[in-house]
Amino acid sequence: MAILTFETLTEQVAAGTVDTVLVCLVDMQGRLMGKRFHAANFVESAWEETHCCDYLLATDLEMATPEGYAATSWEKGYGDYVMKPDLATLRPLPWLEGTVMVLCDIIDHHTHAPVPHSPRAVLKRQIARLADLGFTAKMATELEFFLFENSLDDIRKSGFRDLTPISGYNEDYHILQTTKEEGVMRPIRNHLHAAGIPVENSKGEAETGQEELNIRYADALACADHHTIAKHAVKEIAWQQGRAASFLAKWHHDKVGSSSHIHQSLWHEDGTGAFYDPGGEHGMSATMRRYCAGLIRYAPEVTVFLAPYINSYKRFAAGTFAPTKTIWSIDNRTAGFRLCGAGTGGVRMECRIGGSDLNPYLALAAQIACGIEGLKQELTLGEPLRGDVYKAGDAPDIPRSLRAATETLRGSTMLREAMGEDVIDHYIRAAEWEQEEFDRVVTDYEIARGFERA
């Protein structure tokens, strides 16, 4: 159900209380891209469709135009895609005066078919596959990020040097320190709530200046929508307050990284839970055990969708609450997968591998694809590992670099069948480009280490 109906929007535009509509797509990096429409034009015609350049789904964080994409290129002329507003996502943005927004699905300009590598389309395909098995997924993502004293503009102009977090000490669950940050966090919670994002809470996280925002679970597509809008809002609202918010997975080698844990469970079409069995061990049904076995079996193959950049892999370090092993455990934050709510109707599995820099549509789609494979193959879930998983030398590792994760993705027959050959090749190219761009750069670390002593 829409947070804001088209009829109500039309009335607000006529009354002059709304003058701007943000018409947005979600790009490969999980960012909002699009246009600002005068609201009168939107309610007259643009609510049906508008257009964008197809390079928006074949670029990188810098908006470069890498070669090697089959979908588009300089040779193909970088044509148009159709942006089709999903009016069920129409909502006010209370932190921007007179402004509402809508998310769009991306459609081929010529065939009018969904563009398969569009992040929303990637997730919708897995939701449909799950529905064919009689299930729907309920999911929730945690958003962790750092707040810094200075603004994004000031930090950029300084060359990203001398970064100072908003607090001076670990503020995990710390009420005094987070009171000092309410100038940023309170409007984040309240504005998102008013925008129809079911915010539950915020808290200090386990580092200086680190925050966590928690949003109530929802159907998979709504969960990804909520995540994307919330991440965008955090950056904008922090900027309005003269602060910078960063979702970089690891901004300093001496600091812990930022994650985006994914909670997930399956439900039957009649609305009853499919993961809970009061007679099952830990309250886990056979369906849950098979689904979770798929998550663990195929975790290395989907790591690119959970950790998409070079920097993402700096986060995987022992003793930092970031996992290093693709193993499950019961309420144990050292494992890649943590069973939550054991023995209760809220039993679910939390994937702890994903970083704060993930694209939620791709990450959730990848999780569902792994779970579906577990269901189809009736995979057996092994015993949970107990104790400090960091010390479990015989447990399989999460890929330790983007290069390794890319090669694992390249060889994934499961994902090629689940998502499509073209989609996987598209995101392999994205990962290759990230590696290529890094490999050609001489870093400050290399200069400082070897300038005199090499």
CATH code: domain of residue 389? 3.30.590.10
Q: Which residue in this structure is represented by tokens 């076995």?
A: 293
Q: Which of 71, 94, 115 is the last residue of a domain?
A: 115
Q: Which of 70, 85, 115 is the last residue of a domain?
A: 115
- Its pTM stands at 0.96
**Could you tell me if residue 450 is inside a domain?**
no
Find the domain containing 268 and state its range: 126-445
| Same domain assignment for residues 91 and 159 | no
Average pLDDT over residues 174-199: 96
Q: Which of 61, 93, 115 is the last residue of a domain?
A: 115
- Which pLDDT band, with edges at 50, 70 and 90, does 71 fall under? very high
Tally of domains in the chain: 2
| Same domain assignment for residues 147 and 84 | no
Cα separation, 36 vs 24, in Å, equals 9
pLDDT at res. 110:
87
| Same domain assignment for residues 393 and 432 | yes
| Same domain assignment for residues 104 and 141 | no
pLDDT at res. 395:
83
**Could you tell me if residue 29 is inside a domain?**
yes
Quick check: 383 pLDDT over 60? yes
Q: Share the mean pLDDT of the chain.
A: 95
pLDDT at res. 2:
54
| Same domain assignment for residues 130 and 111 | no
- State pLDDT tens for residues 134-151: 999 999 999 999 999 999
Share of the chain above pLDDT 70, in %: 100
Average pLDDT over residues 44-60: 95
